[in-house]
């Protein structure tokens, strides 16, 4: 299993971005979490196989209607923290 940490900037808060991420992550069968950051970005951590994560990152890059993605960074890790499901963190 692989883990990715994604940071998305732009118009990504107040447009349902986290709910979009949760829906897509569950469709891909991933575990992890997403949260809004105080700087206006959204952070995502997802665990799955490499191929599935690649597809998920592409979906995040698109975002929901109303979002405008200005930047997206992805860090990759070779561990599985053992998340149970995919959730929004506050």
Q: How far is CA 4 from the centre of its chain?
A: 8
Terminus-to-terminus CA distance in the chain, angstroms?
Answer: 26
Catalytically active residues, by annotation: 18, 36
In three-state form (DSSP H/G/I as H, E/B as E, the rest C), the secondary structure along 23-80 is HHHHHHCCEEEEEECCCCCEEEEEEECHHHHHHHHHHHHHCCCCCEEEEEEEEEECCC
């Amino acid at each position: 299993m692989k883990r990715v940490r994604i940071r998305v900037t732009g118009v990504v808060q107040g447009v349902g971005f986290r709910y979009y991420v949760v829906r897509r992550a569950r469709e891909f069968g991933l575990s992890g979490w997403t949260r809004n950051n105080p700087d206006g970005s959204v952070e995502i951590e997802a665990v799955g196989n490499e191929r599935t994560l690649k597809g998920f990152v592409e979906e995040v890059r698109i975002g929901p209607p109303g979002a405008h993605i200005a930047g997206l960074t992805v860090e990759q890790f070779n561990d599985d923290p053992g998340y149970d499901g995919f959730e929004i963190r506050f």
